[in-house]
Amino acid sequence: MTTTTKLNKKTVNAIAHNLIVDEAIQTAWAFVTNMQINNEFEYAFCNSATGDYCDTLWHTTQNVKLGQSMDLIDQRDMAQTALDNFLYAFEDVNIQEIKVEDVYEAMDSIGGDTAMRENYYSNLRQHFKNFVESNTQYALEETEYKGCYKLVSKHTPKQKEKLVRDYLNKYDAWEHIELNNDLVWA
């Protein structure tokens, strides 16, 4: 079978879908890893006698104990939320069932106090804004609800075909195209 007979509209759409969604999911994973606790010192010091938080001059207080700062608690909660959102949305899910729009929507949820939520949403929006600025075949569009966004693919049929051809050539994968395969798990 020649490569031109294998590469029809159905094949291009199926493979392009996987490649496009894969890039969106990788971007979501990058967001998850970026949300992890960093190496900045995020602890708070408390006066052991009064229980009050000490300011930056905690060194001058005799009895001081180390505790978690609100920033550290928020950062840990945001990191865990990002990971939970990612795993809940994508783990053990057939890629064919995931749309590009699902990727941002899956990450766009957090409970907790208002400041933490605003920080999480701000980081999420900026992360995906940076992604679409460097990948013009995607867009971050505002939904009918103010402040709510969705990630969309703007790939044209010609761009999809080029994406697929480039992938198949790069990995010499022309003989590995498999459509209409039966699902082993259901």
pLDDT in tens, 162-181: 999 999 999 998 888 877 66
Q: Is the pLDDT of residue 185 over 90?
A: no
What are the counts of helices (DSSP H) followed by strands (DSSP E) for the chain?
6, 4
Backbone conformation region of residue 112, classed left if phi is above 0, alpha if psi is from -120 to 50, else beta: left
Report the 10 Å Cβ neighbour count for 99: 16
pLDDT for 65:
64
Q: How far apart are CA 70 and CA 75, in angstroms?
A: 8
- Claim: this prediction has a pTM higher than 0.85: no
| Nearest one of 87, 108, 11 to 19, comparing CA atoms | 11
* E strand spans, 12-124: 43-47, 64-68
Confidence of residue 19 (pLDDT cuts 50, 70, 90): very high
DSSP-derived secondary structure letter, 181: P
Residues facing 142 on adjacent strands: 149
pLDDT tens, 107-135?
998 876 667 888 899 999 999 999 999 99
pLDDT tens, 90-105?
999 999 999 999 999 9
pLDDT tens, 40-90?
656 666 767 776 666 666 566 566 666 666 777 788 888 999 999 999 999
